[in-house]
Amino acid sequence: MSRGLIVVDVQNDFCEGGSVPVAGGARIAAAIADLVERSAGADYRYIVATRDHHIDPGGHFSATPDFENSFPVHCVAGGEGSEFHPGFAPTVAGGKVDAVFFKGAHSASKSGFEGADAEGTSLADWLRDRGVEDVDVVGIATDHCVRATALDAVKAGFRTRVRLDYAVGVAPDTTAAAVDDFHQAGIAVSGTAPDPR
């Protein structure tokens, strides 16, 4: 088995109550935790997670954000908003997640493939070193960091699938556009995007 699961940015600031919340984020956090508990060592040989980890990302933080390239302050390194959501955090603490990749210390950095683990190893190198050839991508948000991570996974040579039933988008139109991007890039798509209400 060479399939890995990439869990993207299931963090407090991206769920209800956070600084840039996505409706349905808390529900997706719990659903992903359940998926990980059921699938570790069975459907997936390795499970990794990404985290926004901003120190000084420049124009990515803005008092007048465009919500495409600039956003309100979020996921500040060391802050509560950057921590994994409580619905998902016990799964990480329980050892079901094999590695965590931090991204965006000094940049916007939407893609998990721009991140590195605590030893400085990139996500692509970590997966390749362990013989992973296929990846599933889930998390928050379908139309932002999940999209960027999935597209970069394909560019890095991994056979890639996005599981929409374990991801949540900011808005229906941009989520639909992201799904179109997945199809055009040769990314497999399974499930349907949950209604955020």
Q: Which of 13, 15, 136, 145 is catalytic?
A: 145
Q: Which is catalytic among the residues 9, 136, 143, 152? A: 9
Catalytic residue status for 9: yes
Among 13, 52, 103, 110, the one annotated catalytic? 103
Give the integer Cα–Cα distance in Å for 95 and 79: 22
CB-based contacts of 81, cutoff 8 Å, min separation 6: 11, 12, 13, 18, 19, 74, 75
DSSP, residue by residue, 23-79 = TTHHHHHHHHHHHHHHHBTTTBSEEEEEEE-BS--GGGB-SS--SSS-BSS--BTTS
Active site residue 145: yes
Please, are residues 42 and 113 in contact by the beta-carbon 8 Å criterion? Answer: no
Q: Which two three-digit tokens encode residue 67?
A: 């919500």
- In this structure, the chain runs to a length of 197
Q: Which residues are catalytic?
A: 9, 103, 145
